[in-house]
Amino acid sequence: MARFTLPRDLYHGKGALEALKTLKGTRAMVCVGGGSMKRFGFLDKVVSYLQEAGMEVELFEGIEPDPSVDTVMRGAEAMTKFQPDWIVAIGGGSPIDAAKAMWIKYEHPEITFEQMCVVFGIPELRKKAHFCAIPSTSGTATEVTAFSVITDYKKGIKYPLADFEITPDVAIVDPDLAETMPKKLTAHTGMDAMTHAIEAYVSTAHCEFTDPLAIFAIKMIQEDLIPSYNGDMTKRASMHNAQCLAGMAFSNALLGIVHSMAHKTGAAFEDLGAHIIHGAANAMYLPKVIAFNAKDETAKKRYGVIADYMGLGGANDDEKVKNLIAFLRGMNDALNIPQCIAHYGLDSMPADTGFVPENIFLERLPEIAKNAVADACTGSNPRAITVDEMAKLLKCCYYDTEVDF
């Protein structure tokens, strides 16, 4: 038996933020990141709409990019004091992911972070509060997923939390918010969405309910991402929907080792002064992982279907896979995303010399490879992978060399 779970209500289109007026409750905790939602007036609108719904509102502000375990614990403590019956998270993936983890700790104060990380092991929620997610970026789709990613900076590891319990009750997908994204964020979140859709389509857990969502999202992103990056706001609105469709797919079909690698490399070089931003990591690793997975015949056929749907040509599946890889690398170039870690600069832009020195990468590689294989996303990858193979694949992602194994 399989399961397909989405939010009960999804409000979409311009002005959808007003749906907050319809929520029924007495107290709402609003979780938000940096100043952009306040600066553009959306935070004030959220508070006003919730107050119009008859709720007392309290803010938990300043959730950082790649939210930490410490932030989660502080937020849960604030919720315990305020006792909200609605948790409303607005912004990029980070505040929404953090709020999901806070929600778990708020409802179950005895739970440890290690227990939260047990895949599909989170106890029943909604005894104290329901959850509404409002994304301002077009990539993570955490507003419709059963996932949250939290960083343990002491270990330098990102941990995915996975359980249908943390699928939001309400998602509000309003393109007005996405218009505020800067170009770099548009690129990174867009390639995150493309990775979600492709990994969902070839995942071992894909099914007839997830395939249409994934394949349609791929086509939309193919057509809309680069124009959105270049300032076309009609395409920006379309991308906001496309990333949500991709999220619906992967929340139920799961992901693969592109995400395993991105989770375990993202914070691994934090002490060198920079993160490998999640969407950029996915963009760099996706072509290499496709080449690796395509050694599996079933996966190769499904990549071929993707290439056909995208109109990329190819006389056979081998050619179609090559065309798909070439197209994705071309997207990276058009979006100013590096092709490999060695050329990943401090500002996340392509650089002749990246911020991760070769000797440091090789020194940390065994531990990163081991952690990536153990990641929650590895189990649904279409081709099994050993720690040694993961290390070889990560080397290909560092040097931008061919995957021949």
pLDDT tens-digit readout, 217-263:
999 999 999 999 999 999 999 999 999 999 999 999 999 999 999 99
Structure confidence at residue 245 (pLDDT): 98
Q: Which helix (H) or strand (E) holds 31?
A: strand 27-32
The answer on pLDDT for 339 being more than 80 is yes
- Determine the Cα–Cα distance for residues 371 and 387; give it in Å rounded to an integer: 9
| Mean pLDDT, all residues of the chain | 96
Residues 6 or more apart whose CB falls under 8 angstroms from that of 11 comprise 19, 170, 171, 172, 173, 174
Residue with tokens 């020195």: 357
Please say if the pLDDT value at position 322 is more than 80.
yes
Radius of gyration of the chain (CA): 20
Place of tokens 């999804």: 10
Bridge partner list, 152 = 157
Separation of first and last alpha carbons in the chain: 34
Q: Is 357 helix (H, G, I), strand (E, B) or coil?
A: coil
- Identify whether the C-beta of residue 378 lies closer than 8 Å to the C-beta of residue 385: yes
Residue 4 has pLDDT above 80, yes or no: yes
Quote the pTM value.
0.95
Sign of the alpha-carbon dihedral angle for 169, 255, 267, 287? negative
Nearest to 165 by CA among 125, 193, 206, 112: 125
Which residues pair with residue 134 across a beta bridge?
Answer: 90
Quote the CA–CA distance of 371 and 249 in Å, as a whole number.
Answer: 25
